Amino acid sequence: MEKAKKSRLLVVDDESTNIVILKRILSPFYTVYASTGGADAIDAATELMPDIILLDIVMPDMDGYAVITALKNIDKTKDIPVIFLTAMTNPEDEIKGLSLGAVDYIFKPFSRELLLKRVELHLQLKRYSSGLEKMVKEKTQMVCELQNAILETFAEIVERRDKTTGGHIQRTQRYLWLLVDLLIRHDIYREQLSSWDLNLYIMSSQLHDVGKISIRDNILMKPGKLTDEEFNKMKKHASFGMEIIESIESKTRKNSFLEHARLLASSHHEKWDGTGYPLGLKGEEIPLQGRLMAIVDVYDALTNDRPYKKAFPHAEALEIIINGSGTHFDPLLVEIFAMYEKTFEGLRQT
């Protein structure tokens, strides 16, 4: 047999004679570690991270079934291949072992050649699987980078059309990250937030104003305050944004990124008391995505110049947001914003 690369094996057996035999067979080809009990084997596997574990079933402190169950419940060790090496030849025992996640089942007494060949086979499978996983990760990373580049470019196009809001997207993303992090720390809306991929949510926030691409230039780029009629037309950007993203959703599979984007685009101008637009949603009828965006969107608008106003100082913007608690904004979100208002002010100045 051609000498294999020195992969690391962990042999687990309460009989020292069996360990001696296994080491004699395996040591010329692999680095072999040994444990004589289940609890010790779990510690050794966590510390050594062997390439394969050869595991006996009948042991006094923990049997092999309990050991493999524990290993599969530990993130660090759950993917280590386990081969049961046992004198238990009942098919039901073999089925139980395989159902618990073992990759193979070798009966004692075993032949040297069979043992080496089975170990070699599973190491090859592990290397192939690792290589495939790496390739998939690299391809996924490439796709994600391409998607991000397209998304950022799309968001920049929207922002360039509305020249009064330069940097708005980047700033609101930073505020969103901070606000979400604070909510998690204070155990507020934890159940909802824990179900989100937060990276996708923050990324999708770049599209909250995507509907503005459907607003006419004479309104979007007007260098002054809008008339009531013009403002009513501007308000339609929330509905337009929802329709744009729904159109994308209809052409692809269900996607949490697009779901976040749709909810953000359609609900970030809704108000807690039901007087917002486009749907007049009230309280928790408003998706959390939009309630979060509402605060950071208004804060950024207040603290930056617009054609119809100069930037408000942080203290004045804070007062406006606090006064909007329970009318414009979710009171819980305002409470957190006010509690950490100095942190938001510091982030605004970066």
pLDDT bin (cut points 50, 70, 90) of residue 105 is confident
Write out pLDDT tens, residues 115-148: 898 898 888 888 887 777 777 777 777 766 766 6
Instruction: Return the domain boundaries, the chain.
Output: 8-133, 162-348
81: Cβ–Cβ under 8 A, 6 or more apart, which residues? 51, 52, 53, 103, 122, 125, 126
Q: Is the per-residue pLDDT at 18 higher than 80?
A: yes
Q: Is the per-residue pLDDT at 336 higher than 60?
A: yes
Q: What is the mean pLDDT of residues 14-26?
A: 91
Q: Are 81 and 103 in contact (CB under 8 A)?
A: yes
Q: Which residue has the tokens 């595991």?
A: 55
pLDDT bin (cut points 50, 70, 90) of residue 4 is very low
* Virtual torsion, Cα 279, 282, 286, 292, nearest 10 deg: 120
Distance CA 26, CA 31 (A): 8
Choose the CATH number for 162-348 among 1.10.10.60, 3.30.70.1430, 2.130.10.10, 1.10.3210.10: 1.10.3210.10
Q: Quick count: other Cβ atoms within 10 Å of Cβ 301?
A: 17
| Across 52-56, 211-215, 220-224, least confident range | 220-224
Q: Is the per-residue pLDDT at 3 higher than 50?
A: no
| pLDDT recorded at residue 163 | 56
Size of the chain, expressed as the number of residues it contains: 350
Closest CA to 11 of 74, 24, 77: 24
Write out pLDDT tens, residues 249-295: 888 888 888 899 999 999 999 999 999 999 999 999 999 999 999 99
CATH 3.40.50.2300 describes domain 8-133: yes
Alpha helices in 100-111 (DSSP H): none
In eight-state DSSP terms, residue 4 is P
| pLDDT recorded at residue 165 | 54
| pLDDT recorded at residue 1 | 45
Residue type, 177: W
Return the half-sphere exposure (C-beta side, CA atoms, 13 A cut-off) of residue 199: 2
Q: Which residue has the tokens 């940097």?
A: 167
pLDDT bin (cut points 50, 70, 90) of residue 162 is low
| pLDDT recorded at residue 126 | 81
pLDDT bin (cut points 50, 70, 90) of residue 2 is very low
Q: List the structure tokens of 282.
A: 């009230």
| pLDDT recorded at residue 266 | 96
Write out pLDDT tens, residues 87-100: 887 888 788 888 89
Q: List the structure tokens of 16.
A: 């020292």
- The pTM of the full predicted model, rounded to 2 decimals, is 0.61
Distance CA 287, CA 264 (A): 8
Q: How far is CA 235 from the centre of its chain?
A: 33
Q: Among residues of the chain, what percentage have pLDDT more than 90?
A: 53
Distance CA 15, CA 37 (A): 9
Helix (H) or strand (E) holding 21: helix 16-26
The pLDDT mean for the chain works out to 88
Q: Quick count: other Cβ atoms within 10 Å of Cβ 243?
A: 15
Q: Are 121 and 102 in contact (CB under 8 A)?
A: no
Distance CA 220, CA 236 (A): 12
Beta-sheet strands, E only, within 203-347: none
Burial level of 294, CB count in 10 A (0-12/13-18/19+)?
A: buried
Q: Are 73 and 65 in contact (CB under 8 A)?
A: no
Closest CA to 245 of 279, 213, 286, 220: 213
203: Cβ–Cβ under 8 A, 6 or more apart, which residues? 148, 151, 257
| pLDDT recorded at residue 306 | 76
40 vs 87: which has the higher pLDDT: 40
164 vs 65: which has the higher pLDDT: 65
Q: Which residue has the tokens 């080809």?
A: 29
217: Cβ–Cβ under 8 A, 6 or more apart, which residues? 161
